[in-house]
Amino acid sequence: MELAFVIEKVLLVSLIFVITLVIAMYSTLAERKVAGFMQDRFGPDRAGPFGILQPLCDGGKFFFKEEIIPAGAHKTLFILGPTIAIITACIGSAVIPWGQELTIGERVIELQVTDVNVGVLYMFGVVALSVYGIMLGGWASNNKFSLMGAVRAASQSISYELAMGLSLIALLMVTQSLSLKEIVVQQEGFVNWNIWVQPLGFLIFLICSFAECSRVPFDLPECETELIGGYNVEYSSMKLGLYMFAEYIHMFVSSALMATLYFGGYNFPFMNDLGLSQNWITIIGVLVFFAKIFAFIFFFMWIRWTLPRFRYDQLMNLGWKVLIPLAIANIVLTGVITVIKDTFF
Amino acid sequence: MQSLSNRKKVLEQKPMNFWERIYLPAIFKGLSITIKHFFKPIPTVRYPEVERPYSKNFRGQHSLKRDEEGRERCTACGLCALSCPAEAITMISAERQKGEEHLYREEKYAAVYEINMLRCIFCGLCEEACPKEAIYLDGPHVTADYLRKDFIYGKDKLVEPRFDYKDEHEPTA
Ligand code: SF4
Ligand code: SF4
């Protein structure tokens, strides 16, 4: 491995890391702004113009808060909880292809940290791991409410991971590849986007992502009315901040994943008819990709300020009795259509 | 039981039909409502920068008035304190000395006049009770403060400032 390669990757990783953190930071502001506009008010706008300094103030406040570790808590696990949550949230972005390659002089730079050929599986593993952060935190707090929140988080994420996986299988039957890069390359232009062949699969995937990120309407692990805050009741100061941060990063990565899998990633319509050089296409592609991600993040927030929370039995019903059968039906349907297409056309 | 008003409506919970069960139509309806609000103009008034005009009959902070010659009207009769349902007003009266005629209109005046703005309910009864038209609740609203003692407004805050033209009437000593 040559040095330049290492430097390139390190730079890319740091860049993505910084971008992820900044986006997560500003998602908190965006969330409150969106909430404000949807409720006919401004949202926070006092810290700096339009409140753009608000996330910094919030972060600063978190650092100055007293840090409390409950006497009955398991200290190691208590600290490990938010750590795992934030780490698993961050490493998810490693396999996402942010753009095509940039050519600077002789070097060709891939805008993807690593193209593992099982990228989809990797994402899945990371997402599944993230529930450990919540579980450990909730259990280690030694508090009934947080334990309940943790149990809910675990059962919810298991239930919805199933449906999510099944909906993905149908997609993989179409793409014939587990590499995210490969999947994006296949969706060149506009008509090849996977959403057109897998609308039902996308819907299921979308719903499951909401559940995986524990966003409204599936935010049962942390519902205030029943659990006074859920798995993170006992957390204070920056540990609580990390949990919240992890959640927003999660949302960002999920949005990126959905844009990648179903909405063509960095591909945009007429990308090859514009007669632009490769570098320009790449740059525009990256911007387009981020636009798609932001659209999804906005959608997450839009849903949050529209829908009420599901009841627990409704959540389980929806997961096991509706989404999983639907996902299976989707697989069968995809299989049948693929076979028909292969034999007759 | 028979309903007397005939307005009683018995609500029964029907099992949800197919469209209700898949939630999606309802979700889209909700989403369309929230997005409509998203683009609506926002009625918020950004307060410290933008102030809404008070209505004409707004009862705000009291002011102790002066007459045409710039003398304090209040004669410390105590009727306002008596009429106050919240017991917000206290005063100490004093007799006008020679040479103070340009300061106080009546022979007796309020040397100390205090209104506790935390007690006051801004009912305006003091204004109604005053025989000398000396007190009016015509100011802006009472602003926030940190200490209770700072809410007891004395004459320094209550008596309205002198008008400029009064200076001519002042006897030259
Ligand atoms: S407005 Fe009412 S409560 Fe306030 S000082 Fe006057 S009489 Fe008392
Ligand atoms: S303000 Fe009016 S009612 Fe009150 S003491 Fe003075 S003159 Fe009397």
Domain extent at residue A114: 66-344
Q: List pLDDT tens digits, range B3-60.
A: 778 787 888 888 877 777 778 888 888 889 888 888 888 888 888 888 888 888 889 8
Give a yes or no: residue B153 inside a domain: yes
Q: What is the mean pLDDT of residues A57-86?
A: 85
Q: List pLDDT tens digits, range B63-119.
A: 999 888 888 899 999 999 999 999 999 999 999 888 888 888 888 999 999 999 999
CB-closest option in A40, A302, A322 to B40 = A40
Give a yes or no: residue B23 inside a domain: no
- What is the token pair recorded at A174? 């179409």
What is the reported pLDDT for B50?
85
Residues in chain A with CB shorter than 8 Å from the CB of B37 are 37-40
DSSP string spanning A12-67? HHHHHHHHHHHHHHHHHHHHHHHHHHHTTS--S--SSGGGTTHHHHHHHHHHHSPP
- Helix H segments across A224-323? 224-227, 237-262, 278-304, 312-316
Contact indicator for A247, A213 with CB cutoff of 8 Å: yes
Distance CA A223, CA A255 (A): 23
Domain extent at residue B155: 63-161
| Collapsed DSSP state (helix, strand, coil) of residue A167 | helix
Pocket of ligand 2 (CB under 6 A): B 74-80, 129-130, 132, 134-135
Residue B140: cis peptide before it, omega within 30 degrees of 0: no
Give a yes or no: residue B34 inside a domain: no
0.95 surpassed by pTM: no
What is the reported pLDDT for B173?
45
* B3 Cα: distance to centroid of ligand 2 (angstroms): 58
What is the reported pLDDT for B167?
52
User: Which DSSP state fits A178?
Assistant: -
Of chain A, the percentage scoring pLDDT greater than 70 comes to 99
Mean pLDDT (chain B) is 85
What is the reported pLDDT for B8?
79
- What is the token pair recorded at A155? 């059962």
Question: How many Cβ atoms are within 10 Å of A237's Cβ, its own excluded?
Answer: 16
Distance CA A32, CA A282 (A): 32
DSSP β-bridge partners for residue A185: none
What is the reported pLDDT for B92?
92
Contact indicator for A50, A26 with CB cutoff of 8 Å: no
- Residues 6 or more apart whose CB falls under 8 angstroms from that of A322 comprise B22
Distance from CA of B37 to the nearest CA of A (A): 5
Distance from CA of B30 to the nearest CA of A (A): 6
Residue A44: cis peptide before it, omega within 30 degrees of 0: no
Q: Which atom of ligand 1 is nearest to the CA of B137?
A: 1
What is the reported pLDDT for B115?
92
- What is the token pair recorded at A82? 């938010």
- What is the token pair recorded at A298? 């906005």
CB distance A306–B34 less than 8 Å?
yes
Q: List pLDDT tens digits, range A222-270.
A: 777 777 777 888 888 888 888 888 888 888 888 888 888 888 878 777 7
* B72 Cα: distance to centroid of ligand 1 (angstroms): 19
pLDDT band for position A164 (cuts 50, 70, 90): confident
Distance CA A284, CA A99 (A): 9
Give a yes or no: residue B3 inside a domain: no
**Selection from B166, B143, B64, B153 nearest residue B109 by Cα:** B64
- HSE of A92, CA atoms in CB hemisphere, 13 A: 31
Where is A108: in which H helix or E strand?
A: strand A107-110
Residue numbers in the known binding site of B are: 74, 77, 80, 84, 120, 123, 126, 130
Instruction: Give the CATH number for residue B76.
Output: 3.30.70.3270
Give a yes or no: residue B2 inside a domain: no
Q: Number of structural domains, chain A?
A: 1
Q: List pLDDT tens digits, range A94-135.
A: 888 887 777 777 777 777 777 778 878 888 888 888 888 888
Protein residue closest via CA to atom 4 of ligand 1: B120
Give a yes or no: residue B1 inside a domain: no
CB distance A39–B37 less than 8 Å?
yes
What is the reported pLDDT for B168?
52
Q: Which atom of ligand 1 is nearest to the CA of B135?
A: 6
Q: Number of structural domains, chain B?
A: 1
Beta strands, E only, B72-167: 89-95, 108-116, 135-136, 152-153
Contact indicator for A140, A150 with CB cutoff of 8 Å: no
Q: Is the pLDDT of residue A219 over 50?
A: yes
CB distance A41–B33 less than 8 Å?
no
DSSP β-bridge partners for residue B114: B90
Give a yes or no: residue B73 inside a domain: yes
| Parallel, antiparallel or unpaired: strands B135-136 and B108-116 | unpaired
- The widest CA-to-CA distance across chain B, in whole angstroms, is 95
Q: Is the pLDDT of residue B172 over 70?
A: no
Q: List pLDDT tens digits, range B108-158.
A: 999 999 999 999 999 999 999 999 889 999 888 888 889 999 999 999 888
Using CA coordinates, name the residue in chain A closest to B40: A40
Distance of CA B10 to the CA centre of its chain: 46
